[in-house]
Amino acid sequence: MARSMWKGAISFGLITIPVKLYTATDAEAAVRFHMLHATDLSRIQMKTWCPVEDMAIARSDTVKGYEYASGKYVVITDEDLEKLPLKTMHTIEIEQFTPREAGVGPLGFTKAAYYVEPDKVGRRAFALLRQVLHGKGLTAVCKVVIREREALAVLDPFEDTMMLTTLHWPDEIRSTADLDLGEDTFEFKAAELAMADQLADAMTADFEPDRYHDEYREALMQVIEAKVAGQQIVEPPQAEEAASGNLVDLMRLLEASVKAQVGSRDGKGAAPVSLADAKATREAAPKRAAKPKAAKAATSDEAEAEREGEAAEHRPARRKRAS
């Protein structure tokens, strides 16, 4: 049974719903490394050191201190923190509701996610709030103190419960003014926009989280298991870096992207072929020897090339009749 990491209540209007929070993510899934001494591979120890007494001390012998002047500290105890005059110390205080589809703008840089579990006495009110948020497509914007810090958060329906997601405060989000974005303005051809739209349509689908997994962790575990077994690690072939100049020909890149996406979707490898690709294929193909008889009408490919202003292959000349 998971242990709750916060206990309090959801408050909106005059309604108070006792709830508990549970961490929604699993940090243990990450691959963790220990620091070792390189010469003897012994695991090193991180000790809490007192420079005045020149000795290691236990964590239980430490207290929280705030440096109010250089080298001067005031001690803050857990009792002091409990006495803070804030409603959000033990309450998820809903400030407002906002349309979920509109999001919360630049505040959407999330920090952590928590599942919300109502106490038995508050299940009816909890279900009512969840149903209203779900039915009207709303997000509850709220504030709450978690781990000695007040956090801005949003509350949303999630499966059969609700999820509280903490956000960064506006002054914690850096400005984009320091980025070198240039001052250029770009105009795109209608064909480029149409091909980009086609690529976006080909890549649009419902989000299915189960389709995604941590490939880096899987590859890392393969390396670890190989080294444990004493096997040699084979370096994979390096992918060639695409030249930045290729980005100039956006149309060709878009066409290739659409073909690759459509081909992977239909499973048959079928994909639309651009006129440029068709021309390149014809030019690369070896020319057939001329036959003595007159060639018949041009092929549909040649006819298409003529309509596009491309040069068709020369047809063999007809023989003259004997006079």
Q: Is 17 within the bounds of a domain?
A: yes
Find the range with the poorest average confidence among 14-23, 25-34, 57-66: 25-34
Best-predicted range by mean pLDDT among 5-9, 222-226, 250-254?
Answer: 5-9
Question: What percent of the chain shows pLDDT beyond 70?
Answer: 74
Q: Is 147 within the bounds of a domain?
A: yes
Q: What is the pLDDT of residues 187-245, one digit of tens each?
A: 888 998 999 999 888 888 888 888 888 888 888 888 888 878 887 777 766 655 554 44
Dihedral of alpha carbons 66, 71, 72, 73, sign: positive
Q: Quick one: which of 135, 116, 138, 118 has its CA closest to 126?
A: 118
**Full domain range(s) for residue 142:** 8-26+82-172
Q: Is 146 within the bounds of a domain?
A: yes
Q: Is 260 within the bounds of a domain?
A: no
Best-predicted range by mean pLDDT among 103-107, 159-163, 308-312?
Answer: 159-163
Q: Is 77 within the bounds of a domain?
A: no
User: Amino acid letter at 25?
Assistant: T
Q: Which distant-in-sequence residues (6+ apart) come within 8 Å of 109 by Cβ?
A: 167, 168, 173
Q: Which is more confidently placed, 274 or 127?
A: 127
Q: Quick one: which of 80, 102, 97, 77 has its CA closest to 89?
A: 80
Please give the pLDDT value at position 292.
45
Q: What is the pLDDT of residues 287-299, one digit of tens each?
A: 544 444 444 444 4
Find the range with the poorest average confidence among 125-129, 150-154, 275-279: 275-279
pTM: 0.64
CATH number, domain at 124?
Answer: 2.40.290.10
Q: Is 76 within the bounds of a domain?
A: no
Beta bridge partners of 57: 48
Query: How far is residue 255's CA from residue 271's CA, in Å, rounded to a whole number?
Result: 10
pLDDT over 60 at 301, yes or no: no
Please give the pLDDT value at position 3.
85
Mean pLDDT over 27-39 rounds to: 84
pLDDT mean across residues, the chain:
79
Q: Quick one: which of 170, 174, 119, 110 has its CA closest to 139?
A: 110
User: Are 295 and 315 a contacting pair, CB within 8 Å?
Assistant: yes
Query: How far is residue 271's CA from residue 262's CA, in Å, rounded to a whole number?
Result: 6
Q: Is 159 within the bounds of a domain?
A: yes
Q: Quick one: which of 181, 174, 169 has its CA closest to 141?
A: 169
User: Amino acid letter at 182?
Assistant: G
Q: Which is more confidently placed, 134 or 288?
A: 134
Best-predicted range by mean pLDDT among 68-77, 99-108, 261-270, 277-286?
Answer: 68-77
Question: What is the number of structural domains in the chain?
Answer: 1
Q: Is 98 within the bounds of a domain?
A: yes
Please give the pLDDT value at position 278.
45
User: Are 233 and 223 a contacting pair, CB within 8 Å?
Assistant: yes
pLDDT over 50 at 156, yes or no: yes
